[in-house]
Amino acid sequence: MNPCGKRDDAARAAREAPMSTSSTTHLALALDGTGWHPGSWRDPSARADELFTARYWTDLVLLAERGTLDLVTIEDGLALQADDGLHHDPRTDRVRGRLDAVHVANHVGALTSRIGLVPLAITTHTEPFHISKAIATLDYVTSGRAGVQVRIGGRRDESAHFGRRELGDWSDLDADGQRSFANALFDETDDYVEVLRRLWDSWEDNAEIRDAATGRFVDRDRLHYIDFEGEHFSVRGPSITPRPPQGQPVVAALGHDERPWQLIGTSADVGFVTPKDDAAEALPTIRAAQQRAGREDDVRVLGDVLVVLDEDATRAAERLAHLNDLAGSPLESDALIYVGGVPGLADLIESWSAAGLSGARLRPAVNTVDLPHIVDGLVPELRRRGLFRSAYDGRTLRDHLGLARPANRYAA
C-alpha cells in the first residue's frame, strides 16, 4: 500500500477542489530525501528504494496539495550531504545523493494544479542567468506556481567541483573569520537575487506580438538590457525567456541569524527562520532591512519546525527513540524539533502567528509517516481554529501568499 495515497486520486481531488476561503496562516512543507531524521530511510514505510524515482516525489507533493499547503520546498546541493552541513564525511549509513531539485519540480509541476513549488539553488557556484531562465520555465510549466530558495554554499568540496574559485575551510577560521566569510557570500546573494529579478523583468508582459500576418513575433522595443554591473556579477541581458506568469517568481531564503535575516528583508518574498526561544526574534531585523531597501510588499516570515508526529506525545517520543536507534545518535537540527500530537503542534503554530510570524514550514522526520499526519491531522485542526484555508484561494503561488504581482521596472 502506498503510504501517500494514489496519485491519480490525489490529482483528481486537487483539480476538483473548490476555490474558497482565505487563511490567516501559511503552511509550507520542506522535502529532503526520505525525511529530516537521519534514520528515516530505514523506516519500513520510507520507500527508500523509490527515492530516485519520479513517482516518489509526485506522491508526496500531491498529498501536500490535497492538504492545500501553500508550497513545497525541495532541498538540493552541489556536494554530497554531510551531517554537519559544512564538511564532507565518509558515512555510508545516511542518505547520500540527490536528484536535481529544479528538474523534480518541473516533473511534479506538470502533475499538480495548485501547490507552489520552490526548489533550492546554491548561489555561490551557479550563474543567475541560468537560474533565472530555469525558474521562469518552471513558472510557465506550473502556470504561475514557481519559486526559488536561494542559499549560499561555503563548502570546499563544492567549489572543487567547479574550479572557478577556491574557498577556504571553515575549520581554519575563528568565529570572526567564519562570520566575515559568510557575510561576503550573503552580499553576493543579494546581488544574485537582484540580477534574477531584473532578468525576469527584461521582457515586458506584452513583448510577444505573435502576429503571423505582419511576421512580427516579438516587439524588440519591449525587450530590455539590464546592464547590471556589481562587485560579483556583470550581466547585460535580456533574458531568453519571456517574463514569467507571476511577473517574478517567489524568492525564498532560510535565516538563522542577523545577516541572513537581512537578506530575507532585502531580497526575499518569503523567509524561513528558526525560532527556538523567541518566535519574533528575527522580525525587527527583517522589517528594518525591508525598510532600508524601500520595499513596499510585505515579506512572509515562516518558522521552521522539524516534526515527529503521532497520536499523542508518548507515541511520538517512542517513534523518535526508535529513529534515533536506527541512526545511532540523537536527532539534532538547526530548527526547533517538535515531538508530540497534532493539537500541540497547532498550539505552537498559533502562538507563532500571534507573535507576528506568517506561519510555519514543516520538516517531516519521515516523509511517508509525518506528512499524512500533517495533511489529515494538523490541517483539519488549524481549520477548526479558523487559522487555515479550506481550499485554495487562487491559482498562483503569489495568490496563496497574498503577494501582489510586481510591476515591470522597465515598462514605460
CATH code, 63: 3.20.20.30
Distance CA 201, CA 346 (A): 39
Pair 15, 348: CB distance under 8 Å: no
Pair 247, 205: CB distance under 8 Å: yes
Nearest to 66 by CA among 29, 103, 95: 29
Structural domain contains residue 236:
no
**Dihedral angle over CA of 115, 3, 311, 333, nearest 10:** -60
pLDDT at 15: 37
For residue 151, give Cα distances in angstroms to 147, 173, 186, 235, 327.
Answer: 13, 21, 8, 20, 27
Structural domain contains residue 86:
yes
Structural domain contains residue 362:
yes
Instruction: Tell whether 100 is in a known binding site.
Output: no
Distance CA 68, CA 321 (A): 31
Distance CA 249, CA 132 (A): 9
Distance CA 44, CA 141 (A): 34
Q: Is 145 exposed, middle or buried (0-12, 13-18, 19+ CB in 10 A)?
A: buried
Structural domain span for residue 127: 7-202+244-401
- Which neighbouring-strand residues pair with 211? 216
CB environment 171-185: b (16+ within 10 A), e (fewer): eeeeeeebeebbebb
Distance CA 258, CA 286 (A): 9
pLDDT at 79: 84
Distance CA 36, CA 73 (A): 13
Structural domain contains residue 409:
no
Task: Locate all alpha helices (DSSP H) within 31-123, ordered by sequence.
Answer: 54-66, 101-109
CB environment 92-102: b (16+ within 10 A), e (fewer): eebbeebbebb
Q: Which three cell numbers stand for residue 166?
A: 577556491
Count the alpha carbons within 13 Å of 200 in the hemisphere toward its beta carbon.
Answer: 31
Structural domain contains residue 234:
no
Structural domain contains residue 77:
yes
pLDDT along the chain (412 residues), means of 10: 43 38 81 98 97 98 98 93 79 93 98 98 95 98 98 80 72 80 93 98 94 91 95 94 98 96 98 92 96 91 98 97 97 96 98 97 98 98 97 96 96 85
Domain count, the chain: 1
Which residue is associated with the grid cell 536527532?
331
Structural domain contains residue 225:
no
Count the alpha carbons within 13 Å of 74 in the hemisphere toward its beta carbon.
Answer: 26
Structural domain contains residue 391:
yes
